[in-house]
Structure formats: C-alpha cells, structure tokens
Chains A and B, each alone.
Chain A
Amino acid sequence: MKRVAIVGVGQTKFDRRPDASIREIAFEAFKEALEDAEIMRGEIEASVVCSATHYDKQRTPAGVIAEYLGLNPKPTFNVEAVCASSGVGVRTAWALISSGLHDIVAVVGFQKMTELRSDEIQEVMGRSGDVMWESPFGPTMPAYFAMYATAHMQKYGTTEEQLAKVSIKNRFYGAKNPKAMFQKEVTMEEVLRSRMIASPLKQLDCCANADGAACIILASEEKAKKITDTPVWIAGLGLGSSPMTLTSRGPLLTSFTCTVEAARQAYKMARVEPKDIDVAEVHDCFTVTEIINYEDLRFCERGKGGKLIEDEQTYVGGKMPVNVDGGLLAKGHPVGATGASQIRTLVQQLRGEAGEAQVKGAEIGLAHNLGGIGMYCSVTILQV
C-alpha cells in the first residue's frame, strides 16, 4: 500500500453561473488545480468525475468532462453518492493510487443546479428519499433534516437560537472566503425572521443551491515528493452507509449512523482521536446537521452540540474550528463539488495558506461529507 498525498487543488467561486456550462466550470477548477500542482496535463493518469444525477441534461457526464479537459484516452468514470460524490471520489482516487494502478489522479467534482427552478430542484430532491414509501407524500430535503431537528430539540433541548448560531458563524467566515457564494454576514434576527421552509428550519438554516466545480489532484508518495514541498497526506479514510428510508433508521432520529461508522474507520486508520483534529470541514447542509455532526464526530458529547456552537468553540481560536471557509451554508452547495471543496480548504489550512481564517499550526484536518438525506458518509483525515 503506497502513501498518497494531495498535490494540487482548485475550485470556482460557487455562485449562479448562467454564463458557463458544466464542462466549462469543470475546466476552470481543473486548470486551477493543475497550476497549483505545477504539473502538466499529460501527467494525469486517470480522472474521477463526481456529480449527482438529474440536475443537468447531460447523461453520464464523465464522457464530456474528460473530453473537454483533454484527458482521452486515459481512464475516466463517474462516481455518485449525491452530496458525498466528491468525498467518495477522493477515496476512490486514493484506492487507485495506493494499489499501484496509477501514480497521479485528478478528482473533478461539479454541479450546475440553477438551470432548474428552485421548486423543480425540490421535485428532484423529493425523490432523494424512498421513492415508493416516502416520495408520494411530498417530502423535501429540508423536511427530512427538519424531522431530525424536531427530534433533537425534543430530546436534548437544542434551541432555534443555537441552530441560528451555526448560520451566523458560517456566514461570518463566508465573508472572508472569496470563493463563497454569500459574502455578507447575517444577524440572529435575520435568521429567525427568515422564511419558514420546513419547521423548524428557516431559509437561513438551509444551504443554497449553487453552480460550481472543485478539483483535487492526488499523487503517490514518490511522485508527490517530486511535485511539491508541501504534500498533504491522506492519513485516514472512512465510508459508512445508513438506510435510505427514515423508518429503517430506528426510533431515535438524532444521529447519522453512517457518520459514526465512517468516523470510526477514519480515526482508526489515521491513528488519531477527535481531540487531535486541528481544523474540520463538516457537512452543514442545514444548521441542525452541523450540530449533529459535532456529536457524531465526537467533537463533543451526545446532546451537547448546541452548547458547543453557543460557546463559540467552533470558531478559529476555539476548541475545534469548524467550517471556517463558510461551509455549505455560506459557500452554497453545488452538490458534486462540495466534498472536493471541503478538502481544498483543509489542504490550504494545513499548508498555512488559509489567510484570514488560518488556524495557527494546523497539522491534522478532518473532512466530513454526508450524502443525500444521510445515506452515505465519507470522512477524510489529512495530515502534514
């Protein structure tokens, strides 16, 4: 098993992109990553293309993406795990390299979502659950997570104000991240007064649809050391699954078992404990999800996630800086690109290139990428 490092990262500013197609935004991110790595396109030996289905007219997008990036006839294929697509893509690339099959692999995550109207996207997302037993009743992505919020508030006394504090923190950091869709901070009043989407989740409790692409270039140890003075090593990986139907997940809808499982695997492989993590990116598709993630990743005790954000312990300078690039809530959530964007942020943190939001001396980072309504979870631990 060879050691694998990340040698190049790139991403577009997440935004509405009526000016560009999926192949063009993928190209932007890819080119930025190549320039970051300072390697030639010809050195890429395989590409892993990551995106969710049904958001664009292009069936099986790896075909056009690899073509547009000029990567034929090198191996290419799609990896899909909804919102965890590019987290899983990085895991796939790791496996391709550590097995010795390839030395340098590019992971390209992308999504264009704003070609559909918001409610059309909800129609698509309403089929993210069980299409036989849930979709006929009109659920939406926010509705699923709202049910977790209701249960968490009932069981642990988590409050709407604590949920809002997640939004406030992530918008604070989004304003420092030129790649984030939302560049303005929000206040408690603005969050609590925002439009109700699915009780108790309001508009500012929810991430926004966005268009964007992110690219991660990985290399074997031998190649990585030649390419860069600052390789960022993949120290641990985990992938877990939970039942798709809410009704098969047991009577306590206050935790994502796929996260618990993926984190267990990753901490074990990296031989670290939660307290060793210096900076984290977690899947904040909704404010409540970030709070549950704190607990599932063991950043705090079960039920104490609300207190962790309330005590401001997840800001830079706190016990566990989380989503200090704005997270999904401020960056926007181009589904297939999010996992790679989280990893790019950690790579910059561990290289000391994170600017205003730099966590001083960060050496170990954790990326947590949840798919759909919580069926898939990818956890990646990076180390310098």
Chain B
Amino acid sequence: MAETKIRDFMKYLEEGKVAGTRCKKCQKVHFPPRADCDSCLSSEMDWVELSGKCKLVTYTTVHFAPVSFRYDVPYILAVAQLEEGPMVFAPISRDIKEDEVKVGMSLNLTPVKIVGGKVMYELRKP
C-alpha cells in the first residue's frame, strides 16, 4: 500500500476507521478511495469516514482457492452496498454462518487485524 496516492487509507484502517474520498469539485464519494475523480477528473479530494453500514448485494462460498488461501476454505466473499452509495468487495466474518447469509441482509464493514499484524476489513453483523 505504500506505492499509491491513497496510502493514508491504511492509517485510517489502523485507527479502526473505514474511510473513502470525496471529490472537492463534484462531491462524488469514492470507495475504495481514489486520488482522482473519474467523474469530473479533479484530483482534489477530502478524506471522509464512512459509517460502515451496508446491505448484502451478492456472495459466494469459495471451496477451491488460490494457493495462498488454501488453508482458509471454505470462506465467503461478498459484494455489499454502503449506505453512502458506493459498493464494497469483502469477506464475510467467520462469526456469520453460511446459512445465515441472505441477499439484502444488513452488515457492517469493520476493520480487522489479521495474522501478521496486517489490517484489512470484513463484513460483520451490525
């Protein structure tokens, strides 16, 4: 994540915040965060903290994984829509069982520390 203009995203995540960027010119909110607005081409952005509240759009349980994920199967990957508008691609927390997962359910995009001290995010029960 060092080699990107939006590297501050990691700092916010480490503080327990999920942040997007909002274009100063046209107000479009971007998640994942972008340094440059695809709508109006401005490169002037503000960081905005997102609530994390979202609704499940679709998902799948992965049973056959890339080599580096082979010990994690099965895991559930999902697409959810944040209440601010943008969508997010993230795993569903292991606290939620596969038969509990329903399209349209409310979830919370939450920062999470994983093995090795790395910070990512996942979808948890609100």
Contacts and interface: CB of A to CB of B under 8 A. Distances in A.
Contact of A120 (B67, B78, B120): B67
B86 A143 contact: no
Contacts of B61: 196, 198-199
Given A137-B77, A198-B60, A126 B103 contact: no
Interface string B57-90: 1111111111111101001011101000011111
Interface string A240-277: 00000111100101000000000000000000000000
Interface in B91-106: 91, 103
A73 interface: no
Given A143-B60, A154-B58, A253-B57, A123 B67 contact: yes
Contacts, number: 100
B32 interface: yes
A340 B70 CA distance: 34
Contact of B77 (A147, A149, A201): A147
A213 interface: no
A140 B91 CA distance: 13
Interface size class for chain B? 20 to 34
A123 B66 CA distance: 4
Contacts of B60: 143, 146-147, 149-150, 198-201
Nearest to B38: A248
A148 interface: yes
Interface in A179-204: 195-201
A138 B62 contact: yes
A140 B57 contact: no
A120 B75 CA distance: 19
A137 B79 contact: no
A140 B69 CA distance: 10
Nearest to B75: A138
B62 A143 contact: yes
Given A132-B4, A147-B77, A154-B58, A246 B63 contact: no
Interface of B: 4, 31-32, 57-70, 72, 75, 77-79, 81, 86-91, 103, 120
Nearest to B57: A251
Given A132-B4, A198-B61, A150 B103 contact: yes
A197 B88 CA distance: 23
Nearest to B6: A132
A342 to B, nearest CB: 26
A51 B88 CA distance: 31
A253 B64 contact: no
Contacts of A195: 63-64
A251 B32 CA distance: 15
21 contacts: A119-B64, A119-B67, A122-B67, A123-B66, A138-B62, A138-B65, A138-B75, A138-B91, A139-B62, A140-B62, A146-B60, A147-B59, A148-B58, A149-B60, A150-B59, A200-B60, A201-B60, A247-B31, A247-B79, A247-B88, A251-B57
